A and B are shown apart, each in its own frame.
Chain A
Amino acid sequence: MLEDIVNYYNYFITLFLMSAGLYIVVARGNMVKKLVGLGLFQTSVYLLYLSPGKILGGTPPILGEGFTVFANPLPHVLILTAIVVGVATLALGLALVVRINEAFGTIEETEIFENGSEVDPPEPDNKAGGL
């Protein structure tokens, strides 16, 4: 039992993070919060890839004298790419949020949809959000 927990704890937490991230994305209407949730969702995937590559008692895959057991380098490479993709998406999303805030005066999805998306809305007022 204890061994099972140790063996699958990584995956279990990964799954929890994934679901939590997805929950934020689906449930929350605030656009910045949604992007944070999306970040959580993407970040949890990194663990899914990295966990199987780890060998207990191993070292990072940098060859050198005296080491024989190395972690698998391929997941690291894939996740490096995934991190970059993640931050690129986040940055683009945030840029969109800034523009949406300027155009609609809010970053809450519900407030935008209450105005109705089929009716042509009035000119935007660029009120600065309160701190």
Chain B
Amino acid sequence: MRLDVILRIITKLLLPFMLMFALFVHFHGDFSPGGGFQAGVIIAAAVVFHALVFGLYPTQKIVPMWFAELLMPLGVAIYTGVGFLTMALGENFLGYNVLYFDPKYAQERGVIWIEVGILTTVSGTMISIFYAFAGRGRQK
């Protein structure tokens, strides 16, 4: 892992594009294949990629374990939160129509938020799982 300067530089160059691609997949999910789940997986892949090239501990300096673990419940909480919000506004659970005066935009608004929830949970979970497996070590 000493002489792989090219690998490291290319990784650093690639990572922003990976994250940008994830955002594209996320927000363009309304118009083309993709969405929160796929974007979450790509974000997690970027972190895993970083960890493979630079090692586990440098990566955990940037994305700490506790942060990844926090993302897991946070996403589900956002998702159910949207449900409770629509409920409080008088619609049924996850009935997005009340989120805006025009139902069409209200739907889009609701969809964006729940996709954020999925993205959060999925990326957090995938990163945490990777950390958990990687941190296990071959011998006790």
Contact = CB atoms under 8 A, between A and B. Distances in A.
Asked whether any CB of A lies within 8 Å of a CB of B in the complex, the reply is yes
Given A98-B133, A98-B136, A126-B139, 11 more contacts: A60-B33, A62-B31, A62-B32, A62-B33, A80-B37, A94-B133, A95-B129, A95-B132, A95-B133, A102-B140, A128-B139
Interface in A78-117: 80, 84, 91, 94-95, 98, 102
B62 to A, nearest CB: 23
B96 to A, nearest CB: 17
Interface of A: 60, 62, 80, 84, 91, 94-95, 98, 102, 126, 128
B138 interface: yes
The A interface, classified by DSSP as helix, strand, loop or mixed, is helix
A102 B133 CA distance: 13
13 contacts: A62-B31, A62-B32, A62-B33, A80-B37, A84-B37, A91-B129, A95-B132, A95-B133, A98-B133, A102-B140, A126-B139, A128-B138, A128-B139
Nearest to A91: B129
B80 to A, nearest CB: 17
Contacts of B139: 126, 128
Nearest to A83: B37
Nearest to A63: B31
Contacts of B138: 128
Interface string B24-63: 0000000111000100000000000000000000000000
A98 B140 CA distance: 12
Interface string B101-140: 0000000000000000000000000000100110010111
A14 to B, nearest CB: 23
